[in-house]
Amino acid sequence: MYRERSAGVAGAVLWTSADPGGARSVRVLPDGCLDLIWSSAAGLLVAGPDRRAFVSVSAPGQRWVGLRFPPGVGPAVLGVPADELRDSRVPLAALWGDRAAADLVERAADDPAALLPALAARRLRAAGGPDRLGARIAAGAAAGVPVAAIAADLDLDPRALHRRCRHLFGYGPKTLARILRMRRALALARTGTPLAEVAAVCGYADQAHLSRDVRDLAGVPPTALLAG
């Protein structure tokens, strides 16, 4: 059973997942985000931004509570550049130290859904808020704005934009745009829009291009994701 709701922290989403039955696996698609996660089996973890789908496996009865930060916000909360966490799942202790993490794990056991947003809000205030360019870069990339135009709008040269993107999102602007376009395409397809039309609206050359790109990023074709 998986649920999401607004967390009230810089646009973050609080998600919960639990399965009282047997072990199960979930395909997590790349999204340019970082997650702060509590697991009943593993304690507190950080999920870095993925370049391709990550298959998460839960043990029988395992519970998860996660706080997913919007693209570009996680580094301000966690104090670590996103590209240092790319394609990885690491214990929070590896970032903040054993002592601090152990205290938080103990407190989270009672009510992780309350602790994670409160912790993130406190850390974000201490950091002075998220990088203000993060939302603008993500919006431009999601809209399909060319990298050169995004850089010009932000008064950055392309190399500086690339460095900023790696810090905020874990990868460069072209990879970010590709991932966000895939997510936009899948969201549109889930409304019942035919894939050929989805491809045209989202800027793919054709439906075959859409299918190849989704398969490369998600590990399965769009039809498999839409049937799930």
- Look at residue 87 in the predicted model and tell me its pLDDT: 97
For the purposes of burial, counting CB atoms within 10 Å of the CB of 20, is it exposed (0-12), middle (13-18) or buried (19 or more)?
A: exposed
pTM for the model:
0.92
pLDDT, tens digit, for every residue of 106-118?
A: 999 899 999 999 9
- One-letter amino acid at 225 equals L
- Look at residue 211 in the predicted model and tell me its pLDDT: 97
Mean pLDDT of 192-209: 97
- Determine how many CB atoms are found less than 10 A away from the CB of residue 109: 12
Identify the three-state secondary structure at position 143. Answer: coil
> Is residue 21 pLDDT above 80, yes or no?
no
Query: What percent of the chain shows pLDDT beyond 70?
Result: 98
- Look at residue 128 in the predicted model and tell me its pLDDT: 95
**pLDDT band of 55, cuts 50, 70, 90:** very high
Least confident of 22-31, 61-70, 79-88: 22-31
Identify the three-state secondary structure at position 41. Answer: coil
- Look at residue 224 in the predicted model and tell me its pLDDT: 95
Whose tokens are 């060319």? That residue is 146
Reference 182, options 66, 16, 26, 50; nearest CA is 50
> Is residue 23 pLDDT above 70, yes or no?
no
> Is residue 60 pLDDT above 80, yes or no?
yes
Identify the three-state secondary structure at position 49. Answer: coil
> Which residues, other chains included, contact 3 with Cβ-Cβ below 8 Å and sequence gap of 6+?
15, 16, 17
First to last CA, the chain: 14
**Length in residues, the chain:** 228
Residue 143, both tokens: 């809209």
Whose tokens are 């240092």? That residue is 84
Structural contact between residues 41 and 97, judged by C-beta atoms closer than 8 angstroms: no
Structural contact between residues 75 and 167, judged by C-beta atoms closer than 8 angstroms: yes
pLDDT, tens digit, for every residue of 95-109?
A: 999 999 999 999 998
From residue 80, give the alpha-carbon distance in Å to each of 71, 83, 95, 169: 14, 8, 8, 11
User: CA angle, corner 192, sides to 190 and 197, nearest 5?
Assistant: 100
